[in-house]
Structure 1
Amino acid sequence: MHQLIWFRTDLRVHDNHALASAMAGGPTLALYVITPGQWHEHDDAACKVDFWLRNLAALRQSLEAMNVPLLIRHTDKWDAVPAELEKLCRQHAVGTLHFNDEYGVNESRRDDAVEQRLEKAGVNVRRHVDQLFFRPGTVLTQSGGYFKVFSQFRKVCHERLHTAMPTIVAKPRKQTPVDIRSDAIPKHIEGFDAPGKTIRDHWPAGEDAARKLLKTFVDEQMEDYEQGRDIPSRPGTSRMSAYLAAGVISPRQCLHAALGSNQGEFDSGQAGTTTWINELLWREFYKHILVGYPRVSMGRAFRPDTERLRWEHNPEHLAAWQKGRTGIPIIDAAMRQLKTLGWMHNRLRMLTAMFLSKNLLIDWREGERWFMQHLIDGDFSANNGGWQWSASTGTDSVPYFRIFNPVSQSQRFDPKGTFIREWVPELKDLDAKRIHDGLGQKDLFEAGDYPAPIVDLKETRQRALAAFRDL
């Protein structure tokens, strides 16, 4: 009987629990299911789908070097996956299916349906924890509930890491060849436009590229990460998010690389290292939230009371935000970076999200959807958590009365206007004092080169405060 490893967002052969378990159990086949309709429903970005395909091609090469064939199956949506897997298991005499757990409501329902169908068909199903350090349900409050506050969650995680540090699973050894050939990896999926060369060059595929990027970050940027991560014009972030979202590298590999630069310490020592490990724990926290509070996977606010907010319906303002034409330079620069690279600097994600949900008072779900439709590192839990934090509707969210001023934030974190000049070339000739404030560009927007600010920041701040006070 064959073992079957079903790959999803875990496109790697190193430190992959499901793959290691499958290959320890006998001759192994690998599977990836292409589901375009489901990807559209989940607002998966075209550049992310392309990234998956490029990483699948690299994964196929790695698997074939281990004599593991990679099979490709196509269904439009996940509801057809259980029948497709049962058919494949019968065709290739599969005795056990292995996969790594995913945590959204739709993902969990899909996996439960697969497990139920295959168990009835006589196929064993083994599910593994791989995306996370700790299985959801094992990091709980004293009363047995899921945490709502990150700092409390982090404290318990630190205690667990002291006694149960997650280990890295070795890459399995090459198996005896099986008489099954790999399927071709499509280079394009209909309905998802191929991204430009800029995005592909910026995000090379494969485990080797991911591990090289991680090593460069640890060796050259980790020490300054605490300060460098806030400067959008500098390469101060790890850029590992796309590789983590696709599972091309594991959070355990990232954790161990960070520990190696900090004498094995995760909560003391080098500030840059401890700050970055906290970012890994934020990622963990938001995935635990998906399990503990499934309403966030259903388009609902974590804080039910905020569902009473009266959001503005303003298609013109929404379109200006999407296009990077708000007249607020740092906001426009960030939104243009998103469209060009499929990625946005983390501090700017916070600023653009707060500008949309507070200054424009547009429903955060509009922004959450736009980000998912354009981010190469679009991860539902992290994206949702970040948007709800910024909109003051989520867990551990910023107090509603704390509304960041994008102009002062721009002056603080892009003091010379370097980032703005790169992404808003209309303003490249302005001096460092004038470049931050859209109100100072009257000569430009009168000439039609750059738009006037679409809102007054002070007035819209007061409007947002009033809206939240009325809850």
Structure 2
Amino acid sequence: MQLIWLRSDLRVNDNTALSAAAAAGPCVAVYLPSPQQWLEHDDAPCKVDFWLRNLKTLSKALAELNIPLLIRNAPRWDDAPRVMLDLCRQLKIDAVHFNEEYGLHETRRDAAVADLLKAQGIDAHSYLDQLLFKPGTVLTKTGSYFQVFSQFRKVCYERLHRSLPRLVSAPMAQAPLNIFSDAIPAQIQGFDTPRESLRALWPAGEVEARRRLDTFADAQIDYYQSERDFPAKPGTSQLSAYLAAGVISPRQCLHAALQSNQGEFESGKVGAVTWINELLWREFYKHILVGYPRVSRHRAFRPETEALAWRNAPEELAAWQEARTGLPIVDAAMRQLLETGWMHNRLRMVVAMFLTKNLLIDWREGERFFMRHLIDGDLAANNGGWQWSSSTGTDSAPYFRIFNPLSQSEKFDADGVFIKHWLPELAGLNKKEVHNPAQLGGLFGVADYPRPIVDLNASRARALAAFKNLPSRQTAGAHDE
């Protein structure tokens, strides 16, 4: 008997470990809810709810293949080896199959499970699945992990030209087993069920993920490059939550993009090329997790930036978290996050730079807050984005590049459509006034909207001084070789 251990790969199609397990013999699936670990990792209630809803649809899909889905609790990942061994003994399992995960704690958990099983004569097989390339196979000429995305991408392109990662076929139905699936919990203790309005934005299941991918590849990808930075437009794929939970795979995304672009990933439609680049950014940050494990330990990628004199400003942090900074584009973005579990990518950079540069508050505060609210929360992507914005990370924005929220707002939400949607209290302002209501003074109509909590020019100067004062400041964006 084979056991497929499901984690962030909640799908039947193009699932490497599931396909391998089913090909090797009769197969049972297991999922281990780990609530204490999830709390330690700041996973958002809406994310946990989304995963449970996806497990429910996956259980039905597996049932059609006569593959039972069992639920076994492992409150912390340290419990996983014992729980997995008990289940293997109970079911007389010959081999366990699972897809690789890449955080420091995840790799330790998987190694501990594999070691214990092998000591008991049970095989453990891991597979490359949530990435296009195995970490450690895309390296610089000197054999180190890349620190600069453009160089990483170039090697990825060379590899893709030689051979494209193939899609894995879904398993065939197996003979029924005398084992029954467990009920999927509707809720996990410690994680509140989100509002129905939020859940409705993110329907569960592979069918929905595939529908989003097909709609994007057929109708929107051509405009992706020109529209992705405008938060009021439906310019993005809205697939990030499905990728994070593994309801759809990067391979499926890559193949759909290539199909829409006559098989090209460097030329042809600029929208398709730009989107494939985004898939490779996602890949890059996961490789960084493996090559530079300190980023899994809440450490800055650039060690010299650990000495930054971050401010302890709890009231300003709270104003940022609660969408009352007095800067409409920042507050509108934060309201979008709080109400939908998601934030437009351009705005993630805007609010992150505002927190880390204008308020000079440690990026780790923002990283944690995002993880506690994002339905697509992913350690590699979230950490990579925050460290990029705060100039502490790999390939990050040079420290002197500080987005001005007002000019970002005027450029990417010129008519204030996004702002007015999320800040209806500003609906009466014209398109010039809506970006910076403070200029109006206390005029009627914005009396209930706060004044800016910081002077943008003075705070920019403060951030520049803090970075210049680092003991051994190196040029951000330096090359690896």
Q: Which residue of 1 aligns with 2:469?
A: 470
1:440 deviates by 2.1
Q: Which residue of 2 aligns with 1:158?
A: 157
The question of whether the paired residues in 2 share the 8 Å contact of 1:12 and 1:248 is answered with yes
Q: Would you say 1:285 and 2:284 are equivalent positions? A: yes
Alpha-carbon distance between aligned partners in 2 of 1:62 and 1:446, rounded to the nearest angstrom: 53
Alpha-carbon distance between aligned partners in 2 of 1:381 and 1:275, rounded to the nearest angstrom: 20
Larger displacement relative to structure 2 (429-438 or 84-93): 429-438
Q: Which residue of 1 aligns with 2:205?
A: 206
Q: Which residue of 1 aligns with 2:275?
A: 276
Q: Which residue of 2 aligns with 1:455?
A: 454
1:75 deviates by 2.0
For residues 2-401 of structure 1, what are the structure 2 equivalents within 5 Å? Answer: 2-401=1-400
Alpha-carbon distance between aligned partners in 2 of 1:160 and 1:196, rounded to the nearest angstrom: 44
1:340 is aligned with what amino acid? Answer: E
Alpha-carbon distance between aligned partners in 1 of 2:186 and 2:320, rounded to the nearest angstrom: 32
CA deviations on 1:375-396 (whole Å, 9 max, x unpaired) are 0000100000000000000000
2:184 is aligned with what amino acid? Answer: I
Aligned-partner SS, 2:166: coil
Alpha-carbon distance between aligned partners in 1 of 2:319 and 2:444, rounded to the nearest angstrom: 14
The question of whether the paired residues in 2 share the 8 Å contact of 1:100 and 1:130 is answered with yes
2:432 is aligned with what amino acid? Answer: K
1:397 is aligned with what amino acid? Answer: S
Alpha-carbon distance between aligned partners in 1 of 2:409 and 2:5, rounded to the nearest angstrom: 45
CA deviations on 1:59-103 (whole Å, 9 max, x unpaired) are 000000000000000121010110000000000010000000000
1:438 deviates by 4.0
TM-score normalised by the chain length of structure 1: 0.99
The question of whether the paired residues in 2 share the 8 Å contact of 1:441 and 1:452 is answered with no
1:198 deviates by 1.4
Aligned-partner SS, 1:4: strand
TM-score normalised by the chain length of structure 2: 0.97
The question of whether the paired residues in 2 share the 8 Å contact of 1:4 and 1:96 is answered with yes
1:443 deviates by 2.0
Q: Which residue of 2 aligns with 1:433?
A: 432
Alpha-carbon distance between aligned partners in 2 of 1:103 and 1:47, rounded to the nearest angstrom: 22
Alpha-carbon distance between aligned partners in 1 of 2:341 and 2:347, rounded to the nearest angstrom: 14
1:229 is aligned with what amino acid? Answer: R
Aligned-partner SS, 2:395: coil
The question of whether the paired residues in 2 share the 8 Å contact of 1:214 and 1:238 is answered with yes
2:293 is aligned with what amino acid? Answer: P
The question of whether the paired residues in 1 share the 8 Å contact of 2:437 and 2:446 is answered with no
Alpha-carbon distance between aligned partners in 1 of 2:235 and 2:406, rounded to the nearest angstrom: 21
Q: Would you say 1:442 and 2:445 are equivalent positions? A: no
1:437 deviates by 1.1
1:440 is aligned with what amino acid? Answer: Q
Report the count of equivalent residues: 470
Q: Would you say 1:423 and 2:422 are equivalent positions? A: yes
Aligned-partner SS, 1:353: helix
Aligned-partner SS, 2:28: strand
| Runs (5+) with no aligned partner, structure 1 | none
Larger displacement relative to structure 2 (191-200 or 330-339): 191-200
Aligned-partner SS, 1:74: coil
The question of whether the paired residues in 2 share the 8 Å contact of 1:45 and 1:375 is answered with yes
1:441 deviates by 4.4
1:319 deviates by 0.3
Q: Which residue of 2 aligns with 1:403?
A: 402
Q: CA RMSD in A?
A: 0.9
1:44 is aligned with what amino acid? Answer: D
Alpha-carbon distance between aligned partners in 2 of 1:446 and 1:435, rounded to the nearest angstrom: 11
Alpha-carbon distance between aligned partners in 2 of 1:442 and 1:3, rounded to the nearest angstrom: 69
Change (3 A) 1:361 1:288: same
CA deviations on 1:322-348 (whole Å, 9 max, x unpaired) are 000000000000000000000000000
The question of whether the paired residues in 2 share the 8 Å contact of 1:137 and 1:146 is answered with yes
Change (3 A) 1:70 1:460: same
CA deviations on 1:397-429 (whole Å, 9 max, x unpaired) are 000001010000000000000000000111011
| Runs (5+) with no aligned partner, structure 2 | 471-481
